Amino acid sequence: MAIKTFRSKIAADAVHKISLATNDGGMGYRITKFQAMSASPAGNSPEAVIKVYKTPQTAADFAIDFSDNTLIAAMFYEGNNSNNVLSEIITIFDHVIFNQDIYVTCSSTDGEMNYYIELESMSLDLNENTFVTLQDIRNTSTQ
């Protein structure tokens, strides 16, 4: 299984698209690592919520709703620069396989954040491909 990595800086209230979809949907992915860091760690005490979705998002917010089946990863980041303490809470939804594009959102009190995502890639047979694709279609149509 190959590992693909993505890293970028994302502005507060922004949405990034990570293009993963293929014509035949035969490649699946699973998140193995999800990390973040303030773009200005020596600045204020940043707070941020960074989330990863399986469907397009039009806005970013601070709400985390684990009942949303399109949410595949969420992170609350809090830095306390006055005491040189960093607190980071990460949630990863294991065993969620997807074969379409994913979307990263960021809500931050201190501007830009950096994020890093590792994805494990795997070949999907026809049955797995059909199942994952139908799940994504269902998730998109219920929004």
Q: Where are the domains of the chain?
A: 2-141
Query: What confidence tens digit (pLDDT) does each residue in 20-57 have?
Result: 988 888 899 999 999 888 887 766 677 889 999 999 99
Query: What confidence tens digit (pLDDT) does each residue in 114-136 have?
Result: 999 999 999 988 888 888 877 76
Tokens standing for 48? Answer: 């941020």
Evaluate if residue 3 carries a pLDDT over 90. Answer: yes
Q: Which fold has domain 2-141?
A: Jelly Rolls (2.60.120)
| pTM score of the predicted model | 0.86
Decide the pairing of beta strands 85-92 and 102-108. unpaired
CA–CA separation, 68 and 77 (whole Å): 20
Check residue 25 and give its pLDDT. 80
- Beta-strand ranges (E) seen in the chain are 2-10, 14-18, 27-38, 47-53, 71-80, 85-92, 102-108, 113-123
- 29 strand-pairing partners: 98, 121
